Amino acid sequence: MKVLAYSLFSDFDISLFVSGKHFRLYEKFGAHLISVNNTDGTYFSVWAPNAQAVGVIGDFNHWDRSTHPLNRRLDSSGIWEGFIPNVAKGTVYKYSIRDFNGKEIEKGDPYASRWEHPPRTASIVWDTDYTWKDKPWLKKRPKLNALNMPMSVYELHLGSWQRDPSEPKRVLTYKEIAASLVPYILDMGFTHVELMPIMEYPYYPSWGYQITGYFAASSRHGTPQELMFLIEELHKSNIGVILDWVPSHFPGDAHGLYHFDGTHLYEHADMRKGFHPDWKSYIFNYDRNEVRSFLISNAMYWLDKFHADGLRVDAVASMLYFDFSRKAEEAATNEYGGSENLGAILFLKDLNEAIYGNFEGVQTIAEESSTYPGVTNPVYAGGLGFGMKWMMGWMNDTLKYFKNDPINRKHHHHQLTFSVTYAFSENFMLPFSHDEVVHGKSSMIYKMPGDEWQKFANLRVLYAYMFTQPGTKLLFMGNEFAQTHEWDFKNSLDWHLLQHPPHLGMQKTVRAMNQLYTSEPALYEHSFSHEGFEWITADDADQSVFIYIRKGKKAKDTLVVILNLTPVYRQNYRFGLPIKSNWKEIFNTDATEFFGSGKLNLNTLKPEKQECNGREYSTLIDIPPLGAIVLKQTK
């Protein structure tokens, strides 16, 4: 017999799967290299409840539909399975499905751990075996990845961070990337990297956000084990790895999840709920238990098999609301007449409970742009259970403010002060991501007004503002050295810009800010709490000066941050001191090494008994043009 009756599923597995509570389906579904009756081969299983017949086709049987039919389980699970002898690792295959309507279709394996290099679309029999050497990292991860520790994230797209100069059209392999990325992140002082989606996807211009192979590392860069090597090398240098994860939608490619067995299996059958009009993609049916099991198992897979330290969950707002990006009259409603997608809300709560309940020291981060309450509140307290949420309002207000000519900034002062009113309503991450440097939005440096010197000074002070505000940080690749072009996924970053002093100075600034952020407890110990922030002056709109305090657990760690957001040199500027103490400038964006003008405060600032800003003691300081200063107490 060419296909032996065999199953990896117990009755308990089936009951968990159909109830939406099986979170390790990757151990059961897909292609598994095993031995049955002393014969090596591969066990296949796939969920296709409305199919009339399912078989395996591939290079091992000359793609003949008739030779290797799978057996349908006798229960109501809709699973087809069987063991095929002598099918070895590396075998290329698909599922041949006679669908609900009797049409013969070919599908890739939703649980395949490897796929062919696009544009080819077949799955490959593979394994996830790897001898990990990152145990020291995993042991200390709960401490280093905690919410009271610094998190400075470098977001990157593997295909365009660097390319081979001698062959610029070729993307680098995971191993080649490891050789240059690890030392670069170490040198720059980022604590984490965030990889834009590395799951297999067919259309390169989608940047990985339209996935067909949810359980497969993209073959564009190598094998699953080579991705594991990259993550391991980062871990060896105490660098955390966050993966972008897309449970919000998937493309309609013929070999993918769409219409998998001739019916709307993974996507919602009601296209008001199942189709995304902006992205022309299909929305998962979160009301279906088996779909929730699939998605949560996928999240667990990347944390389990690839030792990822966190997932940044894409487009959460699009999942939460039926009327996201739709006119009200075109949107569906829930059973109570509201716009909330109750199935998606249940899914996100189950997801976060499963992740935090099974993995120590990981984080989930929501890319969520709505005002949905409690995104980072625990599930038991009525929240969605995420660890952090992107602070989109802060990002939008900040960029709007900085685009203004400095002469007009006094009229927009509130755009920088307003975010503090809600800064502690969630655990916020402050992002300057890839989304801000594409589609005609211009690069970060060209968002800044003024001549060349002013553009760079503006960008330095913008980054200083981000690094000294409450919340964790995220910076997209190229932003750290003021990439001049918008991000182009087809080409490498413009690393040659570092030959020029302004760009080199910007890179040095970001390196110094990372060092400051990770070494000063006041900047991270209370990232998500009112305890860590206090204004000294928030109302000097006429001079566009902002002064605030950052506090750690110990009074001696207190910092004062001063921003001057005009090109006017503010000499002998008086401000109130939080503590009667001597103060020393420990950071200044105007340093000449940063391509600044060198207007520093080299002398110790001494307290004077003169009331200012409602404080008993004050002092005078010189604030450089378009500059940021950080002060710390000194004996």
Positions marked catalytic = 314, 367
**Which 3-state string (H, E, C) describes 67-84?**
CCECEECCCCCCEEEEEE
State the sign of the Cα–Cα–Cα–Cα dihedral 547, 550, 555, 560. negative
**Which 3-state string (H, E, C) describes 515-575?**
HHHHHCHHHCCCCCCHHHEEEEEEEECCCCEEEEEECCCCHHHCEEEEEECCCCCEEEEEE
Here the tokens at position 545 are 């000066």
Q: How far apart are CA 398 and CA 407, in angstroms?
A: 16
Coarse DSSP helix, strand, coil percentages of the chain, rounded to the nearest 5 percent: 30, 25, 45
DSSP reduced 3-state for 55: strand
Pairing state between β 472-476 and 363-366: unpaired
Size of the chain, expressed as the number of residues it contains = 635
> DSSP string of 23-51?
--GGGTSEEEEEEETTEEEEEEEEE-TT-
DSSP reduced 3-state for 18: helix
Q: Virtual CA dihedral for 346, 347, 349, 352, nearest 10 degrees?
A: 170
Decide if 252 contacts 282 (C-beta within 8 A): yes
Region class of 37: left (phi > 0), else alpha (psi between -120 and 50), else beta: left
Here the tokens at position 385 are 């259970």
Q: How far apart are CA 503 and CA 511, in angstroms?
A: 12
Decide if 551 contacts 526 (C-beta within 8 A): yes
Decide if 315 contacts 367 (C-beta within 8 A): yes
